[in-house]
Amino acid sequence: MIHIAVVAQALAMRAGLRSLLEAGDTIEVVAEAASLSELMPVLPEIDVLVLAASRLPAEHQLGLLRELPASEALPAVLLLSSERNAAQIMAGLLSPAWGVLPLEASAEELQAAVTALHEGLIVVSPSLAQPALSRLIGMAEGEAEPLIEPLTERERQVLQLLAQGLANKQIAASLGISEHTVKFHVSGVYSKLGAASRTEAVRRGVQQGLVIL
C-alpha cells in the first residue's frame, strides 16, 4: 500500500483528490491539510506528497520543502498545477522523485503518477515538460553514446510506457501481454541501453530519440 498525504486549500478539492486517488486498491490517503505547514511533522511517514497549487503559485507552496535541511528525508512529491514553469520549479527540489500534472488530471493519471513516483521515477505531463526539458534530462550537447544493441519494436513500446510512469502491471494491460513478459522486455531495455534503473533507461531513451515526451 502506498501511503500519501494531500495538500489543497479547498476542502472540496481535498475530498475530490482523495476519491480519485483511492479509487484503486494500492493507494491510501493517510493525511490531508489545507497547507503544507500542517503536514510537516508527518512527512517522514508518507511515501508520496500530493500538492495542489490551485490558488497560490507553486513556488510559494514548495517554499517549506526548500527550507528543510538537506539531510532530512523527503517523500516523493506530485505537484498539481497549470503553471507553465511548474516542472522547472520542481526540477530543483531535493526529493527522491517528483512529478507534475495539470490540475484536471484524471483518476488514472493520478494513480499512475503516484505509483511511478513510489518507484523512484520522474513524471511530467507533456504539456508542462518543455520549459524544463533540458534541465530535467541533463542531455549533453554532443552525440549520445551508441546503443549496445537496437531495441525491438516491443521494447520501444515498453520504454515509451515506462517514460509515462506506468508500472509493470499497467504496461502488461496496455500491451495485452503478461506481467512476466513485461519484466523480460524491461530487462532487455536495461541491457541494451546500459541502464541500471527505470529513470536511467528513460533518460538514455530520450537521448537516443527513442522516447516521445
Range scoring the smallest mean pLDDT among 32-41, 54-63, 132-141, 196-205:
132-141
**144 lies in some domain:** no
Within 13 Å and on the Cβ side, how many CA atoms surround 188? 17
In this structure, the strands spanning 48-52 and 98-101 are unpaired
Asked if 50 and 111 sit in the same domain, the reply is yes
Indicate whether 133 and 163 sit together in one domain: no
- 108 lies in the same domain as 168: no
Say how far apart CA 167 and CA 203 lie, in whole Å.
17
Q: Higher confidence at residue 165 or residue 52?
A: 52
Q: What residues make up the domain containing 162?
A: 153-207
Whether 13 and 92 share a structural domain: yes
Do residue 97 and residue 179 come from a single domain?
no
How many structural domains comprise the chain?
2
Last residue of a domain, one of 87, 106, 137: 137
**Residue 145 is assigned to a structural domain of this protein:** no
Evaluate whether residue 146 is within a structural domain.
Answer: no
The residue that leads in pLDDT, 156 or 94, is 156
pTM, 2 dp: 0.59
Cβ 116 vs Cβ 166: under 8 Å: yes
In-domain check, residue 18: yes
Output the domain CATH number for residue 62.
3.40.50.2300
Last residue of a domain, which of 84, 105, 137? 137
Kind and range of the H or E element at 2?
Answer: strand 2-7
Predicted local confidence at residue 135, as pLDDT: 47
Whole-number pLDDT of residue 68? 58
Q: Do residues 127 and 187 both lie within one domain? A: no
* 128 and 160 housed in the same domain: no
Whether residue 142 lies inside any domain: the answer is no
- 107 and 199 share one domain: no
Do 128 and 158 belong to one domain? no
**Of 137, 162, 194, which residue sits at a domain end?**
137
Of residues 84 and 118, the one with the higher pLDDT is 118
Same domain, 125 and 165: no
Radius of gyration in angstroms for the set of CA atoms belonging to the chain, rounded to a whole number: 17
The domain that holds 169 is classified in CATH as 1.10.10.10
Average pLDDT over the chain, rounded to whole? Answer: 79
For residue 91, the model assigns a pLDDT of: 61
pLDDT digits (tens, 9 = 90+) for 49-88: 998 876 555 566 666 666 554 445 678 889 888 776 666 6
* 125 and 167 assigned to the same domain: no
